Structure 1
Amino acid sequence: MASPESFIQGLFIVISVFSIFFPEFLPNRFISLYRRHRQQNSTTIQGRRHFIAGAQTLAQARSQSPPSQTLIKSSISSADLTIALEPRDAAPHIFKSLALDIEGHKIPALKSLDVALSSPQSKTLGPKEKADALIKRAELSLGVGKRRRRFD
């Protein structure tokens, strides 16, 4: 009769041999799905990095008495990079809209909020975030309407 130690050693040997040869038995479809998932995670991580860096530069720009144009432009470029990496997320569009609003570009900020509130992107927002975006959109549309002397 085999002892429990030899059984455990045999089990470890079987597991190690199986783990070495297991990738050869996987169909290519599963391997490609795994690689695509890893690539998407890497893209998401890079997008979050750009988003956080842009948010920090925008906060620095807002903290200065006249907002720094170079910091605002840097945050807008970070938002553009995040949008390129994560086109279906609404947060970078809202972030870009806030940066454009601080810079004084009301119409592009309004367009960016419209994209964030469109159907595919708005699904990534929670109810409170969507409400905040709608309030900001109303403020921007009133600001644009005052310039053009028309109110809806």
Structure 2
Amino acid sequence: MMSFWPNAHALVTGAGSGIGAATAIALANAGVRVSIAGRRIDALKATAAALGKHAGAVVSIDVTGEAAVTKGIAQIAAEAGPIDILVNNAGKAGSAPFDKTGAALWADMLASNLSSVFLVTQAVLPDMAQRGRGRGGNRASTAGLTRDADVAAYVAGKHGVGGLA
């Protein structure tokens, strides 16, 4: 079993399904109060139900926008308290052969998979530093360790997460 601070509070982004939801549930099972964020509020509510008594705030946030992230993190802190553990899990996959990857897909993949990690971490980190307490983790992908011309924009974003960490 994982060991955390007494009354630890985690935030998991991209927690509406998949690995994000599983991470949130695992943290709750370890006794951590867990707030969750993502784009799809109905999916987030389903994950929150699985968190039971360890559910914290449930907030729909577009993690690709600085203003939305700032507002969402403030809402989470107001509803559930300071964040002690940050799990940057939000992201999405888009694919196209490199020669068919347009600027819009490129920008979307970098915003969703890399800039989101930067924005959320920057919003959470000052409070952690002030309190002298906090941990963070960034979910990347083994795709960030490979080359694949059919998902070049996704691979670049995930590779960037490793570099940012």
Question: Does TM-score exceed 0.5, indicating one fold?
Answer: no
Please say which structure displays the higher CA radius of gyration. Answer: 1
The structure in which a higher percent of residues are strand is 2
Higher relative contact order, chain-length normalized (CA < 8 Å, sep 6+): 2
* Structure 1 length-normalised TM: 0.31
The structure in which a higher percent of residues are helix is 1
